[in-house]
A and B are shown apart, each in its own frame.
Chain A
């Protein structure tokens, strides 16, 4: 297990009872791993527990069972080794843009001089295209700019791993595109290890080496691991010309629309091993892959529906 940079084993989360009513496990039997320099996206319907998994990886939340190891050590509590970009940008509104990043940098390197800190922060803010706005307050920035400050803050502490929770979820398509490009550039240059939650299929294909598909909760699982087999030097404008793109995209959309609900319950275990979720390469295996999985799983799904309806 420890051969991987990050490995997650048997993770399960049950929230404490609300008003005396016990909660069902949000997810269980979650197994996956991430290698150094890999960019992994996780996709799943709203409420399936993506943020909860990320919080466990960040050390902000505790799993009910199972564990996560990073760099051979168990994840216990938050650490400067893991930079987090939050779903809401989480900038401190009383600090300037520079102040927000400097706060993080000073936490990582307490004995740096103010000059060195400012210079370091400015470099990272320029990297996300905010060199002109470093003295502004977050309230004076647009949504996209705030999110970029959050990204600069996470990158500036040079963590071993980045955890991004839908960093572009609240942005319009145009802004999202430009920031995706920036992120792509930075990641390609730094070989940063990244775990990112997204709702956007295209974003996942553009950025990820590997996409984890999560089934619906409660009892959510990792249903499949999709390898994005297109060359790493993708660009947002060029990606559409690659025939693999459509095959991967169809596979993902098909999962989200048709198959994501079919993984809960005992019947699902007949065709799905959560400990070893199937690794698929819809880009290379052509249209066979989705068709194959469909024919393999449709009957089971139908049977499941049948059982549920009775």
Chain B
């Protein structure tokens, strides 16, 4: 039954994609609209279709960019011309380093805060103030104090990934069922075993939810950060192609950002499923 449903849904998805591409195609037909609008060239000019060359790219053109870039994703012809695979790898590398650093800080600190209501109260004002700061607002400070654009990018990822993980870890640890803690207490389980065998697995689904949110934010932020710091990465690629006025390439990159983001989210969703337990 659900297989049939999936098939139907996939069909509708494809239909929507086709309609979208079709509409796009029709909307960006310079020749035809020029012919049709020959009698009313003023109207055509008003609609922004006068200048055929720099108009919004047609899907075919963008499709061409897809084929071109995906055919050879890993070429490297100097600093301003690298394959999409290399650019994405750079972005993913920065995200991975920043994210793992954030995990390394957020998990232990979140654990501590979650275990102790006192520490929770003490940390809370800082978390509440730091959490809503846009990661990019940190950029000038990072660039000034770290003096390195690469490290600054990683720092921005770190600072934006840390909050959801910290909060979720603290919350997950604090709300572990009293019964399970009591079982561990009556068994005189030592603190380390208790932390790893009882509290961590009990809080894991909540912690993973935090990680998934963090990863989503990190991927949003890396593109913006790379536009600012430049050099390498998918964000820089978008910026570079925009400066070249190569819109098909920009569209291609935008779609790639979406796909990579989706894959990251799917991966964390899978991890989440792995640690989720049924009661």
Closest residue of A by beta carbon distance from B185:
A78
**Residue on B with the closest CB to A61?**
B182
Interface residues of B in 178-218 (CB under 8 A from A): 179-180, 182-183, 185-189, 193, 197-198, 201-202, 204
- Let me know if B202 and A90 touch, CB within 8 A: no
A86 touches B179 (CB 8 A): yes
Known A-B contacts A86-B179, A92-B202, A94-B201; A58 and B186 likewise in contact (beta carbons under 8 Å) = yes
Partner of A86, one of B182, B197, B275, B278: B182
Q: Which residues of B contact A157 (CB under 8 A)?
A: 187
The B interface, classified by DSSP as helix, strand, loop or mixed, is: helix
**Which residues of chain A are near B144, meaning CB under 8 Å?**
none
Interface of A is mostly: loop
> In whole angstroms, what is the CA distance A213 to B185 when docked?
29
A104 touches B187 (CB 8 A): yes
| Chain B residues with CB under 8 A of A78 | 182, 185-188
Most buried by B among A60, A92, A94: A94
Minimal Cβ-Cβ distance residue in B for A60: B182
CA separation between A82 and B277, bound complex, in Å?
A: 29
Tell me whether A93 is interfacial, beta carbon within 8 Å: yes
| A138 partner residues in chain B, CB cutoff 8 A | 279
Q: Does A139 contact B (CB under 8 A)?
A: yes
Q: Is A69 an interface position by the 8 A CB rule? A: no
* Residues of chain A at the chain B interface (Cβ within 8 Å): 58-60, 77-80, 82-84, 86, 88, 90, 92-94, 103-104, 107-108, 137-139, 157
Q: List 27 A-B contacts (CB under 8 A).
A: A58-B186, A59-B185, A60-B186, A78-B185, A78-B186, A78-B187, A80-B188, A84-B182, A84-B183, A84-B186, A86-B183, A90-B182, A90-B183, A92-B183, A92-B202, A93-B279, A94-B275, A94-B277, A107-B187, A107-B188, A107-B189, A107-B193, A137-B277, A138-B279, A139-B278, A139-B279, A157-B187
A-binding residues in B (CB < 8 A): 177, 179-180, 182-183, 185-189, 193, 197-198, 201-202, 204, 275, 277-279
